Structure 1
Amino acid sequence: MVSEDGDKSEDEERHEKEVSIIGSIKPLKIDSQVPERWKIWKQKFEIYTEANKLDDFPETRKVAIFLNLLGDQGLTIFNSFSVDRKTATLKEVIDKFDAKFNPLKNLSVERYNFFSRQQNSDEEFEEYVTAITNLSNSCEFSTLKESLIKDKFVIGISDKKVKQRLLQEDNLTIDKCLKIAKSMKLSHERSAKIQSNNDNQTVDAVSNSYRQHRRSSTTGRSRSQSQGMSRNNNYHRQDKSPSTNYHRQDRNSSNTRTGTCTRCGQIHRFRCPAKGVTCRICKRKNHYEKCCYFNKNVDMVTKYPLLEDAT
C-alpha cells in the first residue's frame, strides 16, 4: 500500500526487489581449467548483478545469492575458507575465490604461451585472434598489446600465401589483417570451385566422345559382320546353283595381289587343274580340298577370298 505522502511501504519495496530478480547462470565447473572458468563465471555474475540491481540488496542476501548460483562444488570450496557467510561481504567472498583460483602467475610463462600459440589447421582467423587476445590479457603488455597481437597474428597463421601478403603491407592493424586474410580465403575458395566445375566439364566431354567412338566402332563392326555373312550366304547359294561360265570364274579366281589361284593353290594363266575335281571335304566340285572354304587348317582361306564354285 502507498502511504498518504506517496511513499511505498517497506513490504512493497521488498516485494519489488524480490520479483526483479531475473534469469540465472550455470554453476561453476571445477576442473583442471578452473582458473579460466572462474574468470568467465565471475564476469557472468557481475552482469547478473547489474541486470538485477543486486548492489541495492543487503550484503547477507548478495552473498547468499552468490553461493546459491556458484553450485555444489563452489560451496564446498567456500566451506574450506572458514568464513561466516552472515558476516562476510560479497567482495570478501569473491576475493577468497580469486586467491584460490588465481595463484601468483609466472609472467614469463604467460608470455611464452602467447608467443608460442599457432593457428590450428581447423581454426578460423577470427577464432585465432580471439585466442591470442585472451592470452595477451595476462601478459601485461600495456601499450604494446594491440601491436603485439597484430604481429602474432601475422606470424602465427598457417596459410603461407596470406602470411606473405600481410608481410608486404604497411600500417597494418588487426582489423586490416583480418579483412585481407578473409578476402584471400574467399577468393581461393571461389577459384577452387570454378576449377572443379571446369574439370567436371572436361571429364564429361571426354566421356561423351568416348561413348560416341564406341558407338561408331560397334556400328562399323556390325556392318562388317553383316556384309561378311551376306558374302558367305551368296557363296553357298551360288555354289548350290553353279554357273555355266567357268572360264569367267577361272579368270577371277586368281588372287590379284599374288597371282595364286584360290581353287588349286597354284599359279596358272589358263585352265585351272582343279576344274571338275570333287572336294573330299565339302563334296563340291572345281577346287582342291586344300583350298576348300570349310578346311580350317588351310591358311590360304583366311588370306584369299573364295569365288563361286563352278560345275
Structure 2
Amino acid sequence: MERFLLPDPLPVSGNLPEQWLRFKKQFTQFIDASDKADANAKTKTAILLRCIGDKGNDIYDNFTFEGVPTFDDVIAKFDEFCRPRVSVFASRHHFLTMKQNDRSIDDFITALKKQVRECAFGDLRDDMVLHALTLGLDQERTRRRLFETKNLDLEKAITLCRLAEDTEGEMRKLKLNEEVQAVYKTRQKKAKRRPRSQPTHTSSNKADKCGKCGTEHPPRQCPAFGSECYACKKKNHYAKCCRAPQAQSKAKRVYLVDGDSDSSILRIQVDKEGRRLMATINVSSESRSAPTALRCQLDTAATCNVLSVTDYRLLGSPPLRASTSNLTMYDGSQVPSKGRCSLTLREIDQREEILIFEVVKTRHATLLSLDTCLKLDLIAVSEHVSLVEDRTNDIDAAITEYADVFTGLGCLPSEYNIEIDTTVAPVQNRPRKVAYALKDEFLKKIEA
C-alpha cells in the first residue's frame, strides 16, 4: 500500500456532491491498485476513514446503522448524505435551457450528460440530451442540418456537430491564410516604389476612398446613394463623411448588430458633460487564467457586450472566434468586428459566468449590455408603479357625495319656540320673493 499515493482528503468547503464523487473514484482506484478490493469490510472501512480526512470522519460519526455495517452500507450512507438537494424540476429547467456559449461540441455534450443525471429522465436520457443539444447550439446552420436529417439519434447528431465544428475551423484557417497572403502582396507592391527624384503618378484604375461613404468602390456604385445623413439630414452621404460644421457635434454613434439569430443593438454616446455608470469586474480568459480587473460602462440600451481592442490586449489577446454579426451604424456605415471572444467572470459565491464579447476597434470604454447588467445584478429594474388619480371637482360629483345637504327645503332639524312681546306694536311686512326653482315646492307646502 505504501507504493501508491493516498487519495486527497474530502475538502472542507466547496461543492460537496462533486467532491464526494471525485474522492469516491480516486478511492476505488486506490483500493484496486493496492490489492485491497477483496479485503473484509472492517479493513476497507478503516482505509476509507483514514483517507477521507477530518470532515469525512465527522460526517461518519453522525451515521446510524442497524447492526454491524458493511463497507457497501458505509458508502451508501455517504452517497445519501452527499446527494445534491436540488429539485428535479429545477434540474430539468437548467438542463433544457443550457446553451453552448462558444464552447466546443465535446465540452457542451459533456456538460449536458453531466446535468441530465440529476433530471430523472430514465430511458429517455439520450433523447433528452439530443433535444437539449439541438436547441443549445450556437450555429444556426448546424441546427438546421440536424432538423433535416432523417432517423436522427444522439450518436449521429454528435458526429454531424463535430464535422461542422472541424469544417468551421478549417474555413477560418483558410480565410486567415488568404488575409496573410493579401497583406504580404500589398507590402511587396509598396516596396517597389520609384525613387523620389522621379515623379509618381496615380494609376487611373486604382479606386480611391469615396467622399460620400468613406469606402472604396467602383464608379457609380456608392452605397450611400439614396441614404439620409444622420447629422445634417441631407441625402446621398453618410454622417462620418458629412462636411457640415455642426456634424461632429451632433453625431451620436449608434450601432446596429445584424446576426443570423437574434439582433443586438449597442449604443455608444460621447457626452463629456453627461454622467456614465461604470463598473469594474474581474474576468479571466483562455490566454490569462489570473483574474484581470476590467472597467466597463453599463449601457442599458445595448443588447450585446462590446470589448475594445485595448482591453482585449490587456487580457492577453484570447482566441477569437468568427462572428456571425455585422456591426453597422444607423446611417449605414460599417463597423468591422474583429471576432468574438469568451471571458469568464468569477462571482463572490464562486459561481462562474461566461460572457460573450464582440471585439471592436474603438477608443471608447468596454460596454456591458442590459441582459448582462441584470444577470450580474449591476442594475435593478423596479416594477413598482405609482398610480396618480386626477379627480375633477364637478358639480354632479359634489351633489352625489353630499346628497343629504341638497335634499328637501333646507329646514333645520329641531324646532324653535318664538316668544312674542305684547308691548310692541305689530307691523306687517311684505313677504320675501321665493326663488323660481323653489316655487313649486313652496306652493305645495302652503296648500298642504
Please indicate the TM-score interval, normalised by the length of the shorter structure.
0.5 to 0.7
Structure 1 residue 219: Cα displacement:
4.0
Q: Kindly provide the amino acid, as one letter, of the partner of residue 57 in structure 2.
A: L
Q: Deviations over 1:211-235 (max 9, x none)?
A: 43x315x24259xxxxxxxxxxxxx
Show the counterpart of 1:25: 7
Show the counterpart of 1:165: 145
- Unpaired runs of 5+ residues, structure 1, are 1-17, 223-311
Answer yes or no: is the 8 Å Cα contact 1:60–1:87 preserved in 2: no
Cα separation, partners in 2 of 1:219 and 1:182, compared to 1, 3 Å = farther
Aligned-partner SS, 2:194:
helix
Q: After the TM superposition, which residues 35-46 of structure 1 pair with which residues of structure 2 at under 5 Å, given as runs?
A: 35-46=17-28
2:98 is aligned with 1:117:
yes
Structure 1 residue 87: Cα displacement:
5.0
User: Highest Rg: 1 or 2?
Assistant: 1
Structure 1 residue 139: Cα displacement:
1.6
Counterpart of 2:112 (choices 132, 135, 142) is 132
Cα separation, partners in 2 of 1:215 and 1:132, compared to 1, 3 Å = same
- Relative to its length, the structure with more helix (as a share) is 1
Rounded Cα–Cα distance in structure 2 between residues aligned with 1:54 and 1:156: 45
Q: After the TM superposition, which residues 185-200 of structure 1 pair with which residues of structure 2 at under 5 Å, given as runs?
A: 185-200=165-180
- Unpaired runs of 5+ residues, structure 2, are 201-448
Structure 1 residue 23: Cα displacement:
5.1
Q: After the TM superposition, which residues 12-161 of structure 1 pair with which residues of structure 2 at under 5 Å, given as runs?
A: 24-81=6-63, 87-102=68-83, 105-121=86-102, 123-161=103-141
Show the counterpart of 1:202: 182
Q: TM-score, normalised by structure 1?
A: 0.56
Aligned-partner SS, 2:120:
coil
Rounded Cα–Cα distance in structure 2 between residues aligned with 1:194 and 1:102: 48
Q: Deviations over 1:134-190 (max 9, x none)?
A: 111122212211111112111112222222222221222222222222222222222
Q: Kindly provide the amino acid, as one letter, of the partner of residue 49 in structure 2.
A: L
Show the counterpart of 1:220: 198
Cα separation, partners in 2 of 1:56 and 1:187, compared to 1, 3 Å = closer
Aligned-pair RMSD on alpha carbons?
3.0
Cα separation, partners in 2 of 1:42 and 1:209, compared to 1, 3 Å = closer
Structure 1 residue 65: Cα displacement:
0.5
Rounded Cα–Cα distance in structure 1 between residues aligned with 2:88 and 2:110: 20
- Relative to its length, the structure with more strand (as a share) is 2
Rounded Cα–Cα distance in structure 1 between residues aligned with 2:79 and 2:36: 20
Cα separation, partners in 2 of 1:47 and 1:199, compared to 1, 3 Å = closer
Structure 1 residue 52: Cα displacement:
4.2
